[in-house]
Amino acid sequence: MDSPFVFSREVINESFVGRKDELSWLSSNLSNKENTVLIAPAGYGKKSLVRNAFIQATKNTELKLCTCNLFNIRDAFSFYTLLAREIFSAACTTGDEWIALAEQLLPLARPHIEINERKQNAPLQIIFNKQRLPDFADEILQLPERVAALQNTSVIVWINDFQEIARFDDTATLQKRLLAQWKQQRNVGYLLCGSKINAMRKLFSEKQAFHKFGEQIPIEPIDEKALTDYIVKSFSKSGRVISKEYAEALCRTTRCYPFYVQQFAHLCWLNTKGFVIDNMIDAATEDLLSYNGRLFHSLADDLSDSQINYLHAIIDGMDRFSSAEVLTRYQLNSSANITRVRGALEKKEIITFFRGKPYFIDPVFELWIRKRYFEN
């Protein structure tokens, strides 16, 4: 029997739990082509939310979805190429259509359309002359609006890991160029998503180019009751039983973090053929830490002694980090060193701040480092 818990891919329909308000809000924004920003850690359910919102939005509105993932994009030329390719993929179904659209909408760029005739279903490629990019960059940025007008539709450009543009050379110039073109477009909505929450917040903060570019929809933890009911019902449907109390414990251990809730519940499900009991929860907890241990080892290995000590202080519930007691007890040396350590941990996306207090972005990494580092 297949596990009822999904944590390795986007979930839709009955597997999508909670977030009714966010779903309705985002669906409305997509229908109305409102520029929108989503900021939440990887595994928090952003993609699932977008997929379900798009399904809901397209029930009453004609929309084309262009999806761009920037996780492996490191320069502006690659970004422009990716954007053009994904717009063409959303607008066309055949190589001939790609060629005709390029001739009509990209007369300055004059790209080469590469069709792999030897390999069936191979993706088409659009190839530009890098040296001539300044001559046709705006032409590429205008593609979504021009496609929407040509095909009498609306276009949603969904960009994942948008924070990566901050790493490009001369990113300030690029950001100004994007804004100049995107703000003029009336038949296109931009959905900008990012998993590095500190980098995204900085990108959209005051005095930054993208400040107030779009409406930011807060992505909160999924409601504990909704998750608990989902876990109990999923066990029941597969002929197994978990109590409400144990299901609540799974949610609280993972801070209702969607990826980890599903993974944790899956591991508990694997550990029983009938009723979930204490030792099964304990075994699943160890499995959860082991399954994610390789990544967590890499994160910890990259931390300095001061950074580890600062995390230890967070775990111990310290809040007056600059006090003499904390500086001495956790070997943090000085207030200036604390500032450097905090900045480094934020840049590595290990901690963030809420109402002036630091906390771990990843709850299972916090559990892992607590048990593997500080309880041994």
Cα(229)–Cα(251) distance, rounded to whole angstroms?
Answer: 11
Cα(282)–Cα(277) distance, rounded to whole angstroms?
Answer: 9
pLDDT in tens, 150-179: 999 999 999 999 999 999 999 999 999 999
Average pLDDT, the chain: 92
Q: What is the mean pLDDT of residues 59-87?
A: 94
Query: Residue 64 to residues 126, 267, 376: CA-CA distances in angstroms?
Result: 20, 38, 54
Beta bridge partners, 68, equal 159
Q: By three-state DSSP, how is residue 25 classified?
A: helix
Q: Minimum mean pLDDT among 107-121, 229-243, 253-267: which range?
A: 107-121
Q: State the DSSP code for 205.
A: S
Cα(55)–Cα(111) distance, rounded to whole angstroms?
Answer: 33
Residue 366 clears pLDDT 90, i.e. is over it: yes
Q: Could you tell me if 155 and 188 are in contact, meaning their C-beta atoms sit under 8 angstroms apart? A: yes
What tokens appear for 243 in the block? 């109590």
List phi, psi (to 5°) of 9: -155, 170
Cα(148)–Cα(122) distance, rounded to whole angstroms?
Answer: 26
Percentage above 70 pLDDT, the chain:
97
Cα(210)–Cα(175) distance, rounded to whole angstroms?
Answer: 8
Percentage above 90 pLDDT, the chain:
77
Residue 117 binned pLDDT confidence (cut-offs 50, 70, 90): low
pLDDT in tens, 279-311: 889 999 999 999 999 999 999 999 999 999 999
Handedness of CA 202, 216, 42, 154 (dihedral sign): negative
Residue 82 binned pLDDT confidence (cut-offs 50, 70, 90): very high
What tokens appear for 299 in the block? 């994160």
Q: Could you tell me if 197 and 44 are in contact, meaning their C-beta atoms sit under 8 angstroms apart? A: no
Q: By three-state DSSP, how is residue 36 classified?
A: strand
Residue 122: the pLDDT is: 56
